[in-house]
Structure 1
Amino acid sequence: MKAEEVEYRGMLLEPWYHLRITNLETYSMFSNMFKGWFDDSMSNYNEFIEALLKGNLKEMNIYMNDIALTTFSSFDTGNHPSKRSQPERFYHGFVLGLLVELRDSYDVRSNRESGYGRYDIMLVPHDRKNDAIVMEFKVHEADEEESLEDTVQSALKQIREKNYDAGLTAAGIQKEKIRHYGFAFEGKKVLIGK
């Protein structure tokens, strides 16, 4: 991929990069991957968004686990410690793709610095009546955590300790209007907590 243009958007003038796919093989890979995600006509891809905006963890978990089980390949989600960050990147990219439809109501941000680190995904509402959302993705490490719940707690702890809310509060969003979600992955198993 090649960066064609940089555009600055939002209240904090964050950079948005316009990318171009540079060759037919890469275009084909992305095209096939996206078609695979959305081929199942029985799936309603708005269900995750609706559950997220309502704060319905049960529905968010059902949706993500159903999609992971029925749509994703083990090669997508990986289980190999040597490729630790790849499953995290895969799920991050998938969720980010789902959230794009919120761009009229939220600034959808990914991998930007805030506080003492770099969050995975942040949704900044255009209407301050709505909650802001910070998401952190973690792959379950069996040698460090006993369960997916421990991995979720690790993700939530990272959001707090690295103060990812700093950019939001600096923009005038009150702490009580910020929701945190930790996403834990182990192959095709997903657990989301707050």
Structure 2
Amino acid sequence: MGLICALGGQCLNAGYLTIKEITDALEGKYVLKIPNNEIKREFQSLTAYYFHLDESSVAYLLDNFQNKNWDAFISGYRNILKTAVSYFDLINENSYQTLLLGLFMQLDNKYEIISNRERGSGRLDILLKSKLIDRASFLIELKYTKDTNVNLKELAQKGFQQILDKEYAMDMENVMKIGMAHCGKQVEIYVGKDAESIG
């Protein structure tokens, strides 16, 4: 996965990320964390450097995400895909998951960042679990296709519906449920909350 994997590997080797929990030793899956605020600032700088972004752009993107300004968030995310990431790095669903986790890790003071965790009757892709009761948590289900003829909006809806069907949000309240569908540098998003489902 080229650049995207290189970023994750370098952050881990440099101590910017530490292993919090081993979720699957055989498949090499771990829960990572940023050890402290000083390293968090370095991690922000390194992420921005790798993707040729200024740190204010990343902060703006994450602010829009937390504030549920979805049009602004998806516009900024599309810009990252189009200008900062090589098409050859975007080879499967894991490529986008790694990219998003690299961005979301900067919010670990506000959210517990969880990935590839068994929950409900399946395995969720990304969960940003709020550390404050009165702030929303975010569940993200990623979908990927190589077929440029696939309707990405409909595929994103399927991701959202999977969150409901697999009960990833069981025993949680105030959860934004997000389906994100990717094809190369194209992306669509579908957002819902609580008991909402697709007709």
Do these two structures clear the TM 0.5 threshold for a shared fold by scoring above it?
A: yes
Q: CA RMSD for the aligned pairs?
A: 2.8
2:104 to 90, 99, 104: 99
After the TM superposition, which parts of structure 1 deviate over 6 Å for at least 4 consecutive aligned residues?
none
1:160 to 154, 159, 164: 164
1:130 to 128, 135, 140: 135
Q: Distance in 1 between matches of 2:60 and 2:145?
A: 25
Q: Distance in 2 between matches of 1:178 and 1:7?
A: 24
The runs of 5 or more residues in structure 1 that have no matched partner are: 9-14, 19-31, 79-85
Q: Which letter maps to 1:160?
A: L
Residue of structure 1 in register with 2:189 after alignment: 192
Aligned pairs, number: 158
Residue of structure 2 in register with 1:118 after alignment: 123
Q: TM-score, structure 1 length as denominator?
A: 0.71
Does the Cα contact within 8 Å between 1:115 and 1:165 map onto a contact in 2?
yes
- Paired residue secondary structure (1:153): helix
Q: Which letter maps to 2:126?
A: I
Residue of structure 1 in register with 2:63 after alignment: 50
**Structure of greater relative contact order (alpha carbons < 8 Å, 6+ residues apart):** 1
Q: Distance in 1 between matches of 2:32 and 2:77?
A: 28
Q: Distance in 2 between matches of 1:17 and 1:62?
A: 28
1:40 to 53, 65, 88: 53
Based on CA coordinates, which of the two structures has the bigger radius of gyration?
1
1:77 to 73, 90, 110: 90
The runs of 5 or more residues in structure 2 that have no matched partner are: 1-8, 22-29, 34-45, 192-199
What's the % identity of the aligned pairs? Answer: 24
Q: TM-score, structure 2 length as denominator?
A: 0.70
